[in-house]
Amino acid sequence: MTGRVSAVRRRRLGLLDAIIAAAAIAVVVYVVYRINTYLVYNWDWERLIQFFVRFDATRGQWVPNLLFEGIVISIRVCFWGAVMALAIGLVMGLCRVSNALVLRQISRGYVELVRNMAPVPFFFIAFFFVGNQLLLPLELDSMMREASPETRAVVDVLFGQPNLLRNFIAAAIALALYDGAYITEIVRAGVQSIERGQWEAANSLGLSRYHVLRHVILPQAVQRITPPLTNQSIQLVKDSALVSLLSIQELTFMGQEIAHSTTRFFETWIIVAALYFVACYGLSRLYGRIERRMKRGRTEIVGA
């Protein structure tokens, strides 16, 4: 619509631009005045940069510091959370379109529960129930204590500190259960978006329901659900910040630690927000590029 209008009237700086520019300048001036004159805040970015890497004088080398470790743990939480959320979403999404009412009821109940529950209580309940109840019989703690140094090293790379393994897995499951509900709905919408003719054609070929889904419906549905799934993965990165409330030492948790121990609140939270922004914005640009390339590839195949 804007395109149509702007085609008629040429775009130029108008009154609204002047008003907004004036307002923006006024806000900036006021903020600077408040920070410098009223709060007398001394910016100390250098100190914060040292929380990425710091120079260890005793060892004589640069070592990663809290913020860097937080980023690594965030990536681990997001990775395992995404893998499990995808599995949960796929299974529950297929249950959602199943012929059996009992499966539909279970998946519907799960989705409605997550979508109507406030995130913080949900994360705590999922964390306590999964972490303290379901994972306890696995005896991960003693398993890790008796594990060989090699396995401990592998676990350390994949999941972080072995003695915190149970908490980490419980938190990743909480995150996966939360985002899995949204993926369930994406999968359901994808399967239901396939035209009836496709179902009828597959049925008339005498395929069983499994084969209908496997060879006819899902291959088409996957293409349609890829864009919303990539969006959901960005959402998952943002939701992963909530894991900090469960004392998982990821980026937001580290931000809080640094902010409170140094009292550099402004710099810390601006840096943490900027890091999340870079991650999420970068991901969305990356996905956009991949999507465009895939679309081009598809049209070329069709064209040939």
Partner 1 sequence: MAVAASAKPRRSIARRSPWIDTAQTVVLAGVLIYVVVTGASSLTYNWQWYRIPKLLYVVSEGKLVWGPLIQGLFVTLEITAWGLPLAVGIGLVTALLRRSESIAAQAVASGYLQLIRNTPILVQVYLFYFVVAPIFGLGAFWACVLALSFHEGSFTAEIFRSGIESVRRGQWEAADSLGLSRYHRYRHVVLPQAIPIMLPPLTGQIVTLIKHSSILSAVAIFDLTNMAIDKIAETFMAFEIWLTTAAIYLVLTIAFSVVVDIVERRIRRRGRA
Between 65 and 74, whose beta carbon lies closer to partner 1? 74
Between 147 and 207, whose beta carbon lies closer to partner 1? 207
For the chain, the C-alpha Rg in angstroms (whole number) is 25
277 binds partner 1 (CB under 8 A): yes
CB of 105 to partner 1, least distance (A): 4
Could you tell me how many residues of this chain bind partner 1 (CB under 8 A)? 74
Is there a contact between 239 and 175 (Cβ–Cβ < 8 Å)?
yes
Measured distance CA(168)–CA(247) in Å, rounded? 9
219 binds partner 1 (CB under 8 A): no
- Binding-site member from 40, 118, 157, 301 for partner 1 (CB under 8 A): 118
189 binds partner 1 (CB under 8 A): no
- Binding-site member from 116, 142, 148, 204 for partner 1 (CB under 8 A): 116
- Binding-site member from 1, 7, 40, 157 for partner 1 (CB under 8 A): 1
Measured distance CA(170)–CA(148) in Å, rounded? 23
Structure tokens at 40: 């007398």
Between 4 and 59, whose beta carbon lies closer to partner 1? 4
For residue 129, the 8-state DSSP code is I
- Judged by CB under 8 A, the chain residues 229 through 268 that form the site for partner 1 are 234, 237-242, 244-245, 252, 255-256, 259, 265-266
- Judged by CB under 8 A, the chain residues 119 through 178 that form the site for partner 1 are 119-122, 124-125, 128-129, 132-134, 136
Measured distance CA(106)–CA(86) in Å, rounded? 18
Between 92 and 155, whose beta carbon lies closer to partner 1? 92
Between 125 and 154, whose beta carbon lies closer to partner 1? 125
209 binds partner 1 (CB under 8 A): yes
CB of 164 to partner 1, least distance (A): 19
90 binds partner 1 (CB under 8 A): no
Pick the piece of the chain touching partner 1 (CB under 8 A) from 11-19, 47-55, 141-149, 218-226.
11-19
Between 159 and 276, whose beta carbon lies closer to partner 1? 276
CB of 234 to partner 1, least distance (A): 8
Between 91 and 147, whose beta carbon lies closer to partner 1? 91
Between 273 and 290, whose beta carbon lies closer to partner 1? 273
- Judged by CB under 8 A, the chain residues 279 through 298 that form the site for partner 1 are 280-281, 284
Say how many C-beta atoms besides its own lie within 10 A of residue 39's C-beta. Answer: 10
CB of 295 to partner 1, least distance (A): 23
39 binds partner 1 (CB under 8 A): yes
